[in-house]
Every structure is written in structure tokens, then in C-alpha cells.
């Protein structure tokens, strides 16, 4: 078997705060193979974005990686390679589409210059060649009149167009892996479909892998082959997309899927409310003992308060962190 493109093992990121140590990412492990699209889903505050930032060593100030954390990309140890080598990887071999384009884009450079700069930093292309590539990529991500828009500054573009500029910057050099953090936020459905189709086309043509971080389970169903469900800094379920949607096992995954609106529900004459998951994600300075989801779980019993469940394999490629795996009779119907 070939080695995975990306291998993450026991990733742990913590912060020292006034309220104590915040264990924001707490033992996350997964792999991504070349050409594969892996989705990471979960509520805000579950650790999805911080997991992604850790892969490129872009942890916010004050963050600390545990010595046991391992991130290997194309055989290189991303957590120990020198900064110079790391800069050569960022943007060229592994790129990220950031969630907030207004804070990620430079306000004093035109958007065309910012896309062209990625080309100039990582290749020997001339200024004119880099500009031409930038304009072409802006057109590919759905920006009309791309040549004119390239000469504009971020504040002159709409939120949706700024998001497309971020996508163009990430994809212009056709990296081996793109980390897409809510890539279709603020985009209308037509442009969203166009962006997802572009990601699919690059995946098929150059074998680009995608790590897709999103709240949108519909995007996951359409794009990903495998999905990780995160809750309170941990992976609570990992499975092929078909298995997860057909037979979710963790109560949190069940809750997420039950909260998705459906056409069947919309067509009902009675105004039936969508299911919700009661409560909120606890703060990372105060993860509950035992199972971290227990206070919000309708199936919880005494063991859930004292024993932290392990992530165990229940089917080929399907892992779950829940005591119901060993005691399914406890599941309330």
C-alpha cells in the first residue's frame, strides 16, 4: 500500500488562559490520500479550523503543540522542518482557503497582485506571466471581467468575490492538498456549484486532495469520500460518507443529520419543527469528565460520566467514540 499524502497522529493543541488550560484539539488522528476528499464537520468550537491551521504551523499566538503530535506531509515532518522549508510547502504543495477573506487579504494590494504573488514566490515565472495566471484563475473561480477586477482592491469587491479571490490564491499553483475552510461561505448556490466543480476537476486532473471543513452536510455528501465528525476537540466518528449518512452511530452524528432540512419535511402540510441538539459545546477549559457529549446526549447513563470512551472500529473504515458500541441495549428508542 502507498503511504498517505497527509498523516496526522495524536494532534494536541492547547492554550493557557485565565480560566485554565484550553485543550482545543485533543488527540486528533487521521490520514488523507492523494486525490481523496475528506470532510471534517461539527459545530463551531469543536476544533475543526484549529486542526487545519496546525497542519501548516499557523497556530494562533499562545498555542502550544504537545510533543506527541505528529503531522507528516509527503514524507516531511511538518512540525519540525525549518521555517524556510515550510514556506516552500505553504501555497505550493499544501494551500489553505481561509474562512475570513477580509482579514486574510492584504488591503493595500490589488487582488490580482495577491494571486500573482503566490506564483512569483514559488516559481520562476516573470511578473507578466504571473499576472496572466492570476487573471486566468480569477476567471476560473467565477469572477466576471477578471482582468478589470484583478486591478481592484479587496474593499472594492463583495464578500462573495473576496471569497473567490481566496480560492484563486489557494488553487493557482494546483497544490497536492488544499485545505478548504468553509470555502463556499457567502457564495450563492450557482457560484458554490462552480467552485465545487473546480475542486472536483483539479482532483481528477492532477490528483489534488481536499480537506474540506464545513458545517454544510450537503456539501460533504456531494464532495467527500470520507468524513470526520469532531466534537469538543476530538474525533467522535469517522466513516465513508455513504456509511455515515446511511447508518450514523454516534448520537452527536445522528443529531447533526437529523437537524438538516429535507424536501420531505418542507412538503409536509403540518409545521413540524426540525430536530435540534440541546445545549452547546462546552468550553475547552472545562471539558466534561467521561464522554464529552454526555450532557447533551439522550442516551447517557452513569458510565458516560466516569469513563472516557475510546475511538473504536465498528466496521471497516468506520470508527466511533461511544459506549453504546459496547452496550447497544442502552440506546433509547
DSSP 93-138: TEEEE-S-HHHHS-TTS-HHHHHHHHHHHHS---HHHHHHHHHHHH
Question: Average pLDDT for residues 117-121, to the nearest whole number?
Answer: 96
Place 107 in a pLDDT band, splitting at 50, 70 and 90. very high
Any domain includes 125: yes
Any domain includes 152: yes
Any domain includes 10: no
Give the chain's count of helices (H) and strands (E). 13, 13
Three-state secondary structure readout of 258-269: HCCCCHHHHCCC
Question: Average pLDDT for residues 94-105, to the nearest whole number?
Answer: 86
Any domain includes 117: yes
Any domain includes 160: yes
Note the pTM of the prediction, 2 decimals: 0.92
Any domain includes 131: yes
Helical axes 111-122 vs 159-171, angle rounded to 10°: 10
Query: Does the pLDDT of residue 266 top 80, yes or no?
Result: no
**pLDDT tens-digit readout, 34-83:** 999 999 999 988 999 999 999 999 999 999 999 999 999 999 999 999 99
**pLDDT tens-digit readout, 170-215:** 999 999 999 999 888 767 888 888 888 888 888 898 889 999 999 8
**pLDDT tens-digit readout, 268-317:** 555 566 778 999 999 999 999 999 999 999 999 999 999 999 999 999 89
Give the model's pLDDT for residue 265. 44
What is the distance, to the nearest Å, from the Cα of residue 115 to the centroid of all Cα atoms in its chain?
22
Q: Which domain holds residue 137?
A: 94-174
Any domain includes 228: no
Give the model's pLDDT for residue 242. 95
Give the model's pLDDT for residue 268. 54
- By C-alpha distance, which of 56, 43, 51 is closest to 10? 51
Please give the tally of structural domains in the chain.
1
Give the model's pLDDT for residue 66. 96
The pLDDT mean for the chain works out to 92
* Residue 266, number of CB atoms within 10 A of its CB: 8
Any domain includes 159: yes
User: Percent of the chain beyond pLDDT 70?
Assistant: 95
Amino acid at each position: 500500500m502507498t503511504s498517505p499524502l497527509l498523516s496526522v497522529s495524536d494532534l494536541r493543541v492547547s492554550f493557557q488562559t485565565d480560566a485554565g488550560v484550553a485543550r482545543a484539539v485533543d488527540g486528533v488522528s487521521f490520514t488523507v490520500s492523494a486525490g481523496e476528499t475528506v470532510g471534517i464537520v461539527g459545530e463551531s468550537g469543536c476544533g475543526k479550523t484549529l486542526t487545519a491551521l496546525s497542519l501548516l504551523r499557523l497556530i494562533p499566538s499562545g498555542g502550544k503543540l504537545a510533543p506527541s503530535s505528529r503531522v507528516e506531509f509527503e514524507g516531511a515532518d511538518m512540525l519540525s522542518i525549518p521555517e524556510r522549508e515550510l514556506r516552500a510547502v505553504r501555497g505550493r504543495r499544501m494551500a489553505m482557503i481561509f474562512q475570513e477573506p477580509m482579514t486574510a487579504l492584504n488591503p493595500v494590494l490589488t487582488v490580482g497582485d495577491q494571486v500573482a504573488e503566490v506564483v512569483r514566490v514559488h516559481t520562476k515565472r516573470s511578473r507578466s506571466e504571473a499576472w496572466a495566471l492570476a487573471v486566468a484563475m480569477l476567471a476560473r473561480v467565477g469572477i466576471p471581467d477578471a482582468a478589470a477586477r484583478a486591478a481592484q482592491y479587496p474593499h472594492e469587491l463583495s464578500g462573495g468575490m473576496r471569497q473567490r479571490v481566496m480560492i484563486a490564491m489557494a488553487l493557482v499553483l494546483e497544490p497536492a492538498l488544499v485545505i478548504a475552510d468553509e470555502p463556499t461561505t457567502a457564495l450563492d448556490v450557482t457560484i458554490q456549484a462552480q467552485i465545487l466543480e473546480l475542486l472536483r476537476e483539479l482532483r481528477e486532473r492532477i490528483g489534488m486532495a481536499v480537506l474540506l471543513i464545513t458545517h454544510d452536510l450537503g456539501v460533504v455528501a456531494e464532495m467527500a469520500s470520507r468524513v470526520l465528525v469532531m466534537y469538543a476537540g476530538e474525533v467522535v466518528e469517522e466513516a465513508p460518507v455513504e456509511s455515515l449518512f446511511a447508518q450514523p452511530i454516534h448520537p452527536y452524528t445522528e443529531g447533526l443529520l437529523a437537524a438538516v432540512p429535507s424536501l420531505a419535511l418542507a412538503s409536509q402540510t403540518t409545521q413540524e419543527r426540525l430536530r435540534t441538539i440541546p445545549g452547546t459545546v462546552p468550553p475547552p477549559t472545562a471539558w466534561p469528565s467521561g464522554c464529552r457529549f454526555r450532557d447533551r446526549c439522550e442516551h447517557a447513563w452513569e458510565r458516560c460520566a466516569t469513563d472516557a470512551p475510546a475511538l473504536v472500529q465498528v466496521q471497516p473504515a468506520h470508527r466511533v467514540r461511544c459506549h453504546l458500541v459496547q452496550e447497544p441495549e442502552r440506546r433509547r428508542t
